[in-house]
């Protein structure tokens, strides 16, 4: 049983380590391979994997949008976002596409916190790049009523608000700190705070003491944002679990086992 991940470049991907861990743990006779595929070779590569008998694959940057258009069948999430990260070759030869980042985000939060507080609540989200859209979709599915979306380039936040509707309210980047005053959840989806990137400047003085704080950045695991929130007593959830949980639907579809996300897996991925 074969699966893998297509991207350009691909050497940074943690997916081979985490799927490899699960394959060994569940004693499955299969393999999961990293595959460097140039943007103009995507269709040829996908056809080649089908011909080679692969069960399916993950796709990462820069192929997520192009692959959604290639698929024969798309989940409602893929239809809505126009992007996919998980492909399955079905027995009739058709290509099925899903987008599991939003699922991974919510499952990670659920493992670390009680999400009932989100229903009808307000979320402040920093960043309106590729990772923000699936997170917004998943939060609205959880019953969040308002998402205040703050992005350095305001037009990107406005484009998402135009697409999603009045539940998403763009907030100027300079006003992000005041926007958290009554929020139930603060999420960083920018790349700020990641190793090699500038720091995220975010004072938390106005954040309610019980507001949950999470960061999609997982390198470092404890970002400055999470450290500052933890210090003032707010509950925090780090971003690594999102990466691990988004991989579960694909593994289940290709290898027939719904895998666990636990400390062994976290250690395997962190030490890779």
List, by residue number, the catalytic residues: 64
> What is the spatial distance between Cα 38 and Cα 164, in angstroms, rounded to a whole number?
32
Contact between 74 and 68 under an 8 Å Cβ cutoff? The reply is yes
- The residue (of 49 and 229) whose beta carbon lies closer to ligand NAP is 229
Contact between 154 and 170 under an 8 Å Cβ cutoff? The reply is yes
Per CB under 6 A, residues contacting ligand NAP are: 101, 104, 127-132, 151-153, 156, 189-192, 194, 198, 216-218, 239, 242-243, 246
Contact between 85 and 57 under an 8 Å Cβ cutoff? The reply is no
Shortest distance, CB of residue 219 to ligand NAP, whole angstroms? Answer: 8
Tally of CA atoms within 13 A in the half-sphere of 87 that contains its CB: 33
> In the structure encoding, which two tokens stand for residue 234, read together?
């707010």
Contact between 185 and 216 under an 8 Å Cβ cutoff? The reply is no
Shortest distance, CB of residue 53 to ligand NAP, whole angstroms? Answer: 29
Contact between 204 and 229 under an 8 Å Cβ cutoff? The reply is yes
Shortest distance, CB of residue 153 to ligand NAP, whole angstroms? Answer: 3
Q: Which residue is nearest to ligand NAP (CB)?
A: 129
- The residue (of 14 and 74) whose beta carbon lies closer to ligand NAP is 14
- The residue (of 56 and 241) whose beta carbon lies closer to ligand NAP is 241
Shortest distance, CB of residue 119 to ligand NAP, whole angstroms? Answer: 23
- The residue (of 83 and 89) whose beta carbon lies closer to ligand NAP is 83
């Amino acid at each position: 049983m074969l699966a893998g991940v297509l991207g350009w470049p691909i050497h940074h991907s943690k997916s081979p380590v985490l799927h490899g861990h699960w394959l060994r743990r569940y004693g499955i006779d299969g393999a999961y391979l990293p595959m460097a595929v140039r943007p103009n070779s995507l269709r040829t590569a996908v056809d080649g994997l089908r011909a080679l008998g692969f069960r399916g694959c993950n796709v990462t940057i820069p192929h997520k949008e192009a692959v959604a258009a290639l698929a024969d069948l798309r989940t409602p999430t893929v239809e809505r976002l126009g992007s996919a990260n998980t492909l399955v070759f079905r027995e009739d030869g058709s290509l099925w596409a899903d987008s599991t980042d939003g699922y991974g985000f919510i499952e990670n939060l659920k493992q670390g916190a009680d999400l009932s507080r989100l229903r009808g609540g307000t979320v402040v989200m920093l960043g309106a790049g590729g990772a923000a859209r699936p997170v917004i979709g998943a939060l609205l599915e959880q019953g969040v009523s308002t998402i205040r979306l703050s992005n350095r380039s305001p037009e990107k936040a406005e484009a998402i608000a135009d697409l999603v509707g009045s539940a998403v309210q763009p907030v100027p980047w300079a006003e992000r700190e005041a926007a958290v005053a009554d929020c139930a959840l603060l999420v960083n989806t920018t790349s700020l705070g990641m190793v090699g990137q500038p720091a995220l400047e975010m004072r938390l003085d106005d954040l309610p003491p019980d507001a949950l704080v999470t960061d999609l950045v997982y390198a470092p695991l404890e970002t400055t944002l999470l450290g500052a929130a933890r210090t003032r007593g707010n509950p925090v959830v780090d971003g690594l679990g999102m990466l691990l949980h988004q991989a579960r639907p694909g593994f289940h579809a290709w290898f027939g086992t719904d895998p666990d996300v636990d400390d062994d897996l976290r250690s395997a991925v962190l030490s890779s």
